[in-house]
Amino acid sequence: MRELLEEVIVPAFKFNKVGGGIGLPEMDDGASILVDGKSIVITTDASTVKPLFFPGGDIGKLAICGAVNDLSMMGAEPLAVASTITAEEGLLIGTLRRVVESMNRVLEEVEIPLIAGDTKVVERGGLDQILLNTTGLGITENPITDSGLKPGNKIIISGTIGNHQLALLSMREGLKFESPLESDIAPLWEMIERALDVGGVTAMKDPTRGGVSGALNDMSRKSGVDVILQEDAIPMSGVVRRASEMIGLDPLELANEGVAVIGVDGEKVERVLKAIRKSKYGTNAEIVGEVTEGSGRVIIETYIGGRRIVREPYGSPMPRIC
């Protein structure tokens, strides 16, 4: 997909940014437009998760959290979201109602309005009843990009990883693990705002498709640095660790929907960590590694003392996870 983007889609667009803002070529979590010295940030995502309702969430919660979190990863205070609903013929009103009520619950939690939308109907087919598209609008004076990592920065992961994708997988494939898994899906702005209030945040990304591995490879490549991870510091539940070992998936490549990967100035990282842990979705946050001079690699120091390169996930191991 990144190849398709880099070779076909992104190069097709000759106009791809506004003035000094962040645009398409950056392939960040969103883009920005300068208006009177402030950056208006926009993010847009199609949500195609399957099944529509899963342990810990549903497509409506996913669509809203996706927009809120992408804005948060840009350091932007979410102002509003807009959403389109593409429904297959025969979609039950009750299903639609459950989805929009779920969207509303998240919006009420974060106190962000849904201000615009559109609905379309298509023939029954591959959508599983409904596709949501959500656009987030936010504002900031200092957008945070993926490319801001500096040698000496520390890396925080804000919560236990792997839960979202494994919860979907267990439901789809009927896999039973030692205890039931729930998606980590959550809106992260409150947590990110606390971190930004402390200061020292240099780069952020939410490790959705491609997981922590994808996010850190993007960040280190764009920043021109190396990232050194400590495997034993990475927050992960025992069930995720054992389940992914059993299935043969690397937990670092599993998609998350309520976790942030955050680069922080080394001198401020302890205070930022404390602030994050005070927030509802940040109680399991850990400092997991550091940034060194380098050439875009992600290296992990394993439990047993070895070192290996964490490569960008290749291909798409599982469709319809976000």
Identify the CA nearest to 207 among candidates 215, 219, 199, 218: 215
CA distance 272 to 293: 23
Q: Is 126 in the site for a second copy (CB under 8 A)?
A: yes
What tokens appear for 298 in the block? Answer: 């992600």
- The two most distant CA atoms of the chain are separated, in Å, by 57
Beta bridge partners of 321: none
Helix, strand or coil, per DSSP, at residue 183: coil
Q: Is 3 in the site for a second copy (CB under 8 A)?
A: no
Q: In the complex with a second copy, which residue's Cβ is closer, 51 or 113?
A: 113
Per-residue x/- marks for a second copy, 173-212, CB under 8 A? ----------------------------------------
What tokens appear for 263 in the block? Answer: 């680069």
Per-residue x/- marks for a second copy, 78-97, CB under 8 A? -xx-xxxxx-xx---x--xx
**142: phi then psi, degrees, rounded to nearest 5:** -135, 90
Which residue's entry shows tokens 């899906």?
185
Kindly state the smallest distance separating residue 58's Cβ from a second copy, in Å.
Answer: 14
Q: Is 43 in the site for a second copy (CB under 8 A)?
A: yes
Q: Is 51 in the site for a second copy (CB under 8 A)?
A: no
Q: Is 146 in the site for a second copy (CB under 8 A)?
A: no
Q: In the complex with a second copy, which residue's Cβ is closer, 13 or 307?
A: 13
CA distance 282 to 275: 9
Kindly state the smallest distance separating residue 86's Cβ from a second copy, in Å.
Answer: 5
Kindly state the smallest distance separating residue 10's Cβ from a second copy, in Å.
Answer: 8
Q: In the complex with a second copy, which residue's Cβ is closer, 93 or 304?
A: 93
Identify the CA nearest to 183 among candidates 248, 245, 102, 294: 102
Q: Is 318 in the site for a second copy (CB under 8 A)?
A: no
